[in-house]
Structure 1
Amino acid sequence: MQVWIGRNGERFGPYADEEIRQWLRDGTCRPEELGWHEGMTDWRPLGELFPDERPAAGSVPPMPPPAPPPFMGVTDIAEPEYAGFWLRFGAWVIDYLILMVPFTIISLSMGLGAAMTKLLSQMESDQTAAISAYAMAVQPITYVLLVIGFVYYAAFESSKWQATPGKMAVGIRVTDTEGKRISVGRAAGRNAIRLVNAFTFLVPMVFYVTAAFTQRKQGVHDLLASTYVLTGRADKAAAPAPRSGTSGSFDA
């Protein structure tokens, strides 16, 4: 079992439970200091996590030192690595190529081929009318494809993988600001914001450009939906320790 320790407003670890037991016995750690391990919903005193371990007779627990604590191997939790523009661009390209298969099949089944043939035949006589008729003909197709793309992104990013196939391929994932899996509602909101870009007929990457300049490499949709795109696949990412709470909680 791997245990995190809370001390002086910071989190340290994780450490093996045997290390914690030894530190409790020799007085390096105090029973009232807070600990957390995967599966817990809140931080609890180490004395509750290891009730059989107490300082040896005659040992004097040290006063709370400034961080870092005096025992060996202490490391603060590292800042997550945020995915940059080019990783996200690569994921977008892969997802685009994947979606092109169903998009092409659906478009042709909804009459895209006939609309294009009619467009070419009318261009010689009245170009304005031909383009207008083509736009009207493909409008239902456009709406269907937008819905499919929306469902694709929202479903995958709120799934246990936290990523579309394209993001999984390049090794990135979508999280909330605590590094946790996002809900279906937040994924839907995040991707609804992305659809605004599609309706403006701008290059879809324009919402990603801000990722090259913001501190946490967030796109416009990330900023508005309070999400991050982090490096690392969800199935290999460490479970985040809780950051705040009441009654025995530990806020880092």
Structure 2
Amino acid sequence: MIPYGGFWWRVLAYILDAIILQIATSIIGGIFGVGLALPLTGLGAGENAAFGMMMFGMIGASLVINWLYFAIMESSKLQATVGKLAVGVVVTDLRGERLTFARATGRYFAKILSSLILCIGYIMVAFTERKQGLHDIVASTLVYKTRDPSVLFDNREVFA
């Protein structure tokens, strides 16, 4: 039986993904944000609404980038984000099959529930029998430890 992906492997994978997403979001925000911010440099105190709308747009863009990254990667043939690949875990449905884009999307947005009340939904991974967080239970998904992370670039079984 393939072991489930434990808490610390998943934390490490998330840290790696967060770094990747921060870099990508910063680059995209820098490209678009500079162009949007230039007209705002001379705004007075009464014109904060335009700045607020720009910030709202940037937060929305960040949410979309994060959602698409996780949903596309986890529903792809790889069944994992770059961080998950690096630590050797994959996401499946309860039958061990690849996620649909809809299920991966549901899993991503269910992470909002996992974040509530001191991230207990994430901490559940350390204590549940199948190492499921609240978002995994809601989306009917499992995370498996598939290989030693030292063989990161030996993905023949993934690309077969």
Distance 2:53 2:113 in 1: 20
Is there any run of 5+ residues in structure 2 with no aligned partner, and where?
Answer: 148-154
User: Conserved in 1, the CA contact under 8 Å of 2:90 and 2:144?
Assistant: yes
* Secondary structure of the structure 2 residue equivalent to 1:153: helix
1:46-125 matches, within 5 Å, as 78=1, 80-111=2-33, 114=37
Distance 1:207 1:130 in 2: 40
* Structure of greater Rg: 1
**Per-residue displacement from partner, 1:120-145 (whole Å, max 9, x unpaired)?**
x98xxx8xx89987544311001011
Q: Taking structure 1 as reference, are residues 176 and 107 closer, same or farther at Cα in structure 2, changes over 3 Å only?
A: same
Greater percentage in strand: 1
Q: Taking structure 1 as reference, are residues 111 and 215 closer, same or farther at Cα in structure 2, changes over 3 Å only?
A: same
1:170-185 matches, within 5 Å, as 170-185=87-102
Normalised to the residue count of structure 2, the TM-score between the two structures is 0.76
User: Conserved in 1, the CA contact under 8 Å of 2:77 and 2:98?
Assistant: yes
Aligned to 1:211: 125
Greater percentage in helix: 2
Distance 1:235 1:222 in 2: 27
Letter in 1 for 2:65: I
Distance 2:113 2:79 in 1: 22
- Report % sequence identity: 38
Aligned to 2:68: 151
Normalised to the residue count of structure 1, the TM-score between the two structures is 0.50
User: Conserved in 1, the CA contact under 8 Å of 2:91 and 2:142?
Assistant: yes
Q: Taking structure 1 as reference, are residues 196 and 106 closer, same or farther at Cα in structure 2, changes over 3 Å only?
A: farther
User: Conserved in 1, the CA contact under 8 Å of 2:7 and 2:131?
Assistant: yes
Shift of 1:194: 2.2
**Per-residue displacement from partner, 1:39-60 (whole Å, max 9, x unpaired)?**
xxxxxxxxxxxxxxxxxxxxxx
User: Conserved in 2, the CA contact under 8 Å of 1:161 and 1:235?
Assistant: no
User: Conserved in 2, the CA contact under 8 Å of 1:110 and 1:141?
Assistant: no
* Secondary structure of the structure 2 residue equivalent to 1:223: helix
Letter in 2 for 1:99: L
Count how many residue pairs are aligned between Structure 1 and Structure 2: 148
Task: Say whether residues 1:165 and 2:87 are aligned partners.
Answer: no
User: Conserved in 2, the CA contact under 8 Å of 1:157 and 1:174?
Assistant: yes
User: Higher relative contact order at CA 8 Å, sep ≥6: structure 1 or structure 2?
Assistant: 2
* Secondary structure of the structure 1 residue equivalent to 2:91: strand
Shift of 1:90: 0.3
**Per-residue displacement from partner, 1:18-37 (whole Å, max 9, x unpaired)?**
xxxxxxxxxxxxxxxxxxxx
* Secondary structure of the structure 2 residue equivalent to 1:229: strand
Task: Say whether residues 1:223 and 2:145 are aligned partners.
Answer: no
* Secondary structure of the structure 1 residue equivalent to 2:65: helix
User: Conserved in 1, the CA contact under 8 Å of 2:113 and 2:134?
Assistant: no
Is there any run of 5+ residues in structure 1 with no aligned partner, and where?
Answer: 1-77, 238-252
